[in-house]
Amino acid sequence: MKLTGWVSVGFGLGVAIAGCGKVDTAVGCDDFGVDADAQKVEAFLDTGDRFATDSVTLANQVEATCRAVATDLGITPPMATRDQLQVEATCLAVRDEIELIIDGALPAGATLTLDFVPPVCTVDIDAYGSCVAECDANVSVDAQVMCEPGHLSGRCSGSCTGSCRVEGTVACDATCSGTCSGTCTGTCAGDCDGTCSATDAEGRCVGTCDGTCMGSCNATCMGMCEGSCIADVEGSCMGTCTGSCDVDFEAPRCEGDVDVMADVDCRAACDARVDATAQCTEPSVAVYFDGTIDPAGQERLLALITTLERNYPRLLQLQAQLTQIAESGATLVGTFDSASAAARRLGVRATACFVDATAVAVDSAATVDVTLSVTVEVTASASATAG
């Protein structure tokens, strides 16, 4: 794990996915005693089980989102073949349809632009600390979990230095990741109650609005923000503070890498466990068209724009979470091998459970890789229309 400087805090299924399962608890994979080896083995088995569940959950969520896009575009995805996951079959059908619409309905010289702020993912500091203490007998529950400086966040009841993110529909005089209803100092993508310097083929503003913007604002929004209002602060923060707080953060989370002085195998296992449940923000997406619409392709193009505005944010959010766990999941698979010595010392039953858990982790990591790959392909098929 890449470590630079650090700050630390204390810590007191819908669609079936082939190839994934859980550790076989029928053989008694849940109680190996109280010594250090037993503690590590039980923690690894628990992590593998959670990782398997979370990988299937994410695959199902991506598949459901791709299926929603397919419904909006009027196509029926095929059933998965024997060597496919359903998420792969559904999302690749969506990718192909998006590319067909772009090739057939987007006139030469026209552009379809997607404007969004990338998702931000955070992991639970307390959950990471508890996981490491559960796995490593030499780590106490009050060990210090470290987060890169400037990447620690949470509720700050004191003075926040950094950025303050307030969610919902709120008064804002800062960056709005969402829909701005007010004065926008940058590009307004949406409706402009005033004079707009540039409009798309549908008459929506895609330039500077001299008046009230009702849409995405890529600079400062002065008015109401529906989404996330993010401001640089040095003082009180009524939302989530990212940076530093002059008192202890409440429910601390980390937007960067986390680490703790503990067994290397346990750190790898806990990376996978907390990354699988990372919280990633869902960005707002503004889609606007510049050019003359081909009458023959107008209906298909407008259906694509509508579904991108509706579903692209969720795909970006899921893609960010999958990216977060892909690397740690691969590391987890390798770490099972190095941690297997503890299982062998416990005997035949623990070894059998560990072999089973390793196979489950391999399947789960493969599911994550496939799901991330098709998610990237779908988002790239739409992003490729930009410019």
pLDDT digits (tens, 9 = 90+) for 366-375: 999 999 999 9
pLDDT of residue 225 exceeding 90:
no
Residues linked to residue 160 through DSSP beta bridges, in sequence order: 235, 245
pLDDT of residue 36 exceeding 60:
yes
pLDDT of residue 387 exceeding 70:
no
Average pLDDT over residues 230-242: 91
The token duo for 336 is: 């099972």
pLDDT of residue 297 exceeding 80:
no
265 or 20: which leads in pLDDT: 265
- Residue 82 exposed, middle or buried by CB count within 10 Å (0-12, 13-18, 19+): exposed
- Convert the pLDDT of each residue in 305-339 to its tens digit: 889 989 999 999 999 999 999 999 999 998 998 89
pLDDT of residue 51 exceeding 90:
yes
**Exposure on the CB side of residue 352, measured as CA atoms within 13 A:** 11
By C-alpha distance, which of 79, 101, 102, 74 is closest to 90? 79
Q: How open is the CA angle 254-258-260, to the nearest 5 degrees?
A: 135
Average pLDDT over residues 133-159: 88
Summarize the chain as % helix, strand, coil (round to 5).
45, 25, 30
Average pLDDT over residues 264-282: 91
Q: Give alpha helix (H) positions in 148-291.
A: 264-275
Q: Where are the beta strands (DSSP E) in 198-314?
A: 205-217, 220-235, 240-245, 250-254, 258-259, 279-280, 285-290
pLDDT of residue 351: 94
pLDDT of residue 8 exceeding 70:
no
CB atoms within 10 A of CB 380: 11
Report whether 180 contacts 133 (CB < 8 A). no
Average pLDDT over residues 279-297: 77
pLDDT of residue 385: 55
By C-alpha distance, which of 187, 148, 122, 152 is closest to 317? 122
DSSP letters of 354-373?
Answer: HHHHHHHHHHHHHHHHHHHH
pLDDT of residue 2: 32
- Running DSSP on this structure, what letter comes out for residue 238? S
- Convert the pLDDT of each residue in 106-126 to its tens digit: 777 777 778 777 888 999 999
* Pairwise CA distance, residues 121 & 125, whole Å: 13
Mean pLDDT for all residues in the chain? 85
* Pairwise CA distance, residues 300 & 105, whole Å: 7
Cut 0.85: pTM above it: no
pLDDT of residue 125: 92
Average pLDDT over residues 85-91: 97
- Convert the pLDDT of each residue in 9-24 to its tens digit: 443 333 333 334 454 4
Share of the chain above pLDDT 70, in %: 90
* Pairwise CA distance, residues 319 & 383, whole Å: 14
